[in-house]
Structure formats: C-alpha cells, structure tokens
Structure 1
C-alpha cells in the first residue's frame, strides 16, 4: 500500500486529491495538511511514501518546505498546483529542488477524470523512486558540472543525423546536466520534455544560458540545424518532417498520447520513420 500525505491550503483541493487517490487500488491517504507546519509533524508520525504539495500557501510556501523536506526527510514529492505564466518559474524551481513531477489541478489542463488518472499513475511511479539528501548530490538548484564531452563528427554526419531525447517532468535537472556537458559540434537535438504550456519557453531560455548549444523552444516549420536544440512547446506535439533535402520540425495539436502532449512516442516515431539508423 502506497501511503500518501496531501499538503494544500485549500480544503476543496485537499478533498479532490484525496477522492482521486482513495478510489485507486494500492493507494491510501494517510493524512492531509493545510500548511507545511502541520505537514512537518505528520511526516514524522505517519511516515508517508509520497507527498503531494501545493506551491502557493500562506506562512511557508511550498518551495521553502520542499527544500526542508529534501534536507531533513528526503521523500518523493509531487507538485500539484495551478499553472500560470506567473508561477511557472516557481514550478521549475521546485523541480530543480527535487520534486519528481508536477501536475496541474483540474480545470486548467485536465478535467477531473484526466487529473485523477494522471495523479494515480504519477503517485505509483513516484513511490518507486529513490530520493537522496542534497548533501549527497551538491546544490540541488545547480547540478554540478563534470568535464565536457568531446566529439569528432564529420560535417556530413552533422547534417544527416538527428538526436531525439524524451524526459518526463521530473527529468528537468537531468536534462540540464546533460546539455551542459555537450559540445556545440553535434547534430540537431529534438527534445520532448513534459512540462505545461507556460513553462517550456522559460525552461529553454534557462538551458540556453548554460550550454554551448543553441537552445530554444521549437516553432512550426523551423529548419533543423546542427548545434541547435529544439524543445517541444508545452501542450503541443513535435514531429520531424522532410521537404526535399532539408529537415523541419512540425508543431501540432493532436490528441494526447498516454495523457501527454507533447508525447515522447510521437517524436520518436517520426524520427524513426524518417531517419532510421541515422537517428
């Protein structure tokens, strides 16, 4: 049984989250807390396996509490919050502090049924994660930089090959770490990173400031070039297309795949169809 603690200042949202999880096999709500101070005591007593955490709360916000959880009681934490351009920076920071995933509350990206299904799947996945204290991994907000990788790729390969990467929401820190190490002389890199619509542009800009590669949110019809990284926009699928001898990215608003848009499967399938062994 997966034991979950819900931390949210809204009584309505606590009930919605609890209802979604209590109806799922193998998941039990062991407690709810209206603020981090109550949650701190419940963590010690109830010993939950996973915590759902809102960001915007009075007295102590979710980011401050998240940093304390990771320092003193490392646990899998899922951010369940309302997304908007205003709080996108905060949610990205939560991921860098150690949150495994973020889910929008129902009504913005998902209806109640979609929210419930996604939350259950996310909780089950998070319960298997191994969380360590920041002291073991350095500053949680700034992944340590190892020596940069060097490559010797021919000009022909730079133009003909493509690298495709997919990551769930909790993979933002890993993706940031990887891109910091890569040299500029690489084939084009296409990335699907599961993030809400208002986050991907600011995420791409942040990555670009710490990399030798040119990183940006992809735009429809854009030519794919070596040394460039294209991040799929939130809430849009990205596929690779070929016109004459050049490759382009196409941005579409197709159906969600496994509750995700953008979908890693959609990108990977398009790359495999066009590039085959060159991908």
Structure 2
C-alpha cells in the first residue's frame, strides 16, 4: 500500500482523482489540499509516497512548490494540469524540476475527462511510486569530471559513429544532464524519449537553448550531423536509414511498439539494421522494457551498447531488462555517459 496526496484548487478534481485512486487496492489517498500551503500541513503529519499536483493554484503555484520539494525532500510527483495542453513550455519546466509525469487536464468537462483517462492517471501514479527521485536530485550536485573511464574497445574501430539513446521516466532530466555536457564536435545523436506529442517540440527547443550542440525535434530526412541531437516527435516513431555515407532519419506514424509511440525498440532496431558496428546504443532510465530487445539486436549486429546503472536511474526498468537480456557491453552511471559520447569525438579527431 502506498500513500498519495492530491493538491488541486478544484474541488471536483480533488474528489474525482481521489475516487479513482482509492478504488485501486494498493493505493491510499492520505489527503487532499487546495494549495501547497495546506498540503504542507498534511505532509508534516504523514509524508506521501506520490503527490498529484496542479500547476495553477492560489497563494503558491505548483512549480514553486515543486522546486522547493525537490530541494528539501525529493518526492515522486505527477503533475495534472491544463497547462499540459495550452502551455507545454510550463509542462516541460515541471519535468525539468523533477516531475515524473505531466498529464493534461481539460478546462471543460473535466470530470468526464478524468474518468475517461483514469487508466492513464493510475499508470502514472504507479510508475511514480517506483521511482528513485533522490537519484535525479543528486545528479545536479555531482561533478561532470568522471575519474572512472570505460573501456569502449570496439568504438575505436571506425570513425563514422552515430549514437542512439532511449529513455522514459526520469529521462528529461537525465538527457539534459548528458546533452548539456557535450561539445559541438560530438557525434550525431538520435533520441527517443517517451513523451506526449504536445511536449517534444518544446522539450527540444529548451535543450537547444541551454546546450552547446544543436537540439531539435526530428523531421523526415533530417541528416544526422556532428554536434546535433534529433528527438523523436511524440506520437511518431523515429528510425535511421543510410544514404551513401550519410545517415538520415525517418519519422513514421504507426501503431505502438512495446506499448509506446515513439518506441525505443523501433529506433534501436533500425540502428542495428543500417548502422551495425558504426552505432552506439545507450538505454537510460525508464519504466518497462521498451528498448531492451532493440538494444540486444544492436549488440548482436556489432554495435557497442550501454545501460544506465540502477544507482543513477530514476526508474531502473528499461536498463534492468536490457542487462537481463545481455544487451549491454557495459553498465555505466549517468555521470559517465557524456564522457563515453565525447570519447567518440576524440576518436574521430585523432
């Protein structure tokens, strides 16, 4: 049994969300509050395992509360907000601050929408309950100067490398950590981050503003170029193809694969097929098993593959499954990943 606190200024939302969660046999709603100030009084008596949080509230807004929470006592948070639809930049900020999921809340017909989307809410709360939020919180305080070096071996056999990365829950912060530390000479990167389509463009734009490399949402036939990271659009699969000496991407509408669209498995399998030993695969924090089988196909094709370790993951599901399948050449911390990618740069310029 795990405990949930609901913070929302709408009495209807508080009631409906509580009813949905309390029907689950292993969830107990320990309290509801119409703003973070009232919530703190509840939390002083009984700390929740998961918080369902609105953004627009009186007295203290959700982002301010989220920032303080993650600094003082990191706790899994699911944001439920109308800003997920109208202000995706705000939703991206919530993810950056440490929220594990952001769910859209309608302005009209909210009760029926919440009932219709009850399964999504439950899935997000269950996922958050399994997260190691303190790991994400500690990432920002650790130095990017990693003393431990990883033997990349096969990476030094060729120079035209591409890097394929897959992530889910906790991945927004993890990707920011990695991409911020890369230089403009870094190898081309293609990324699948599980994220709704309303978020991916804003997520890419924000990363582009803070990173030395170019980061953008992928479009069909974009070239994979050094110093560039392409992020799969929400709701579309991202694949790699080769045209002569160049690598290009395809953006494809299609059914969910491994329960996701975009799917990490789809990206990794395309890398196995068209890049083989010229590809490097990295599977990062996330719930479930998407990407594990695709990473195994990459390794079998000669690619060098890495899985993020449990200690630095917010959710260890995807890397754990990849490790179980024997898909990873090495298990590495998040703090090592930028150095691994930069090592490819140095190999190329040697």
Shorter-chain TM-score above 0.5: yes
1:229, distance to aligned residue in structure 2 (A): 0.8
Cα distance, 1:114 vs. partner? 7.4
Give 1:196's aligned residue: 196
**Structure 2 Cα separation of the partners of residues 219 and 162 of structure 1:** 17
Aligned Cα RMSD in Å? 3.3
In the alignment, what sits opposite 2:285? none
TM norm structure 2: 0.66
Of 123, 128, 131, the residue aligned with 2:130 is: 128
What is the distance in 2 between the residues matched to 1:154 and 1:133? Answer: 31
Instruction: Pick closer, same or farther for the CA change 1:268–1:231 going to 2, 3 Å.
Output: same
- The whole-number CA distance in structure 2 between the counterparts of 1:220 and 1:125 is 32
1:231 deviation in Å?
A: 1.0
Assess if the C-alpha contact under 8 Å between 1:6 and 1:18 holds in 2.
yes
Deviation string, structure 1 residues 8-48 (Cα, Å, up to 9, x no partner)? 11223223322332233322222222221221111122321
Q: Hey, what does 1:228 align to over in structure 2?
A: 228
**Structure 1 position 156, deviation (Å):** 5.5
CA contact under 8 A between 2:83 and 2:90: conserved in structure 1?
Answer: no
Q: Quick one: distance in 1 between partners of 2:142 and 2:88?
A: 23
Please identify, of 5-14 and 97-106, the stretch whose mean Cα deviation from structure 2 is larger: 97-106
CA distance in 2, matches of 1:113, 1:252: 31
The 1:15/1:256 distance shift into structure 2, 3 A limit, reads: farther
Secondary structure of 1:78's match? strand
Contact 1:49-1:75 at 8 Å conserved across structures: yes
Secondary structure of the corresponding residue to residue 75 of structure 1: coil
Conserved 8 A contact 1:192-1:262? yes
The whole-number CA distance in structure 2 between the counterparts of 1:147 and 1:175 is: 17
Residues 71 and 215 (structure 1), Cα distance of their counterparts in 2 relative to 1, 3 Å cut: closer
Runs of 4+ in 1 over 6 A off after TM superposition: 148-151
Q: Deviations over 1:182-206 (max 9, x none)?
A: 2333332101122332332232222
Tell me the residue number matched to 1:181.
181
Aligned length: 271
The change in CA–CA distance for 1:197 and 1:15 in structure 2 (over 3 A counts) is: same
Distance 1:6 1:85, change over 3 A: closer
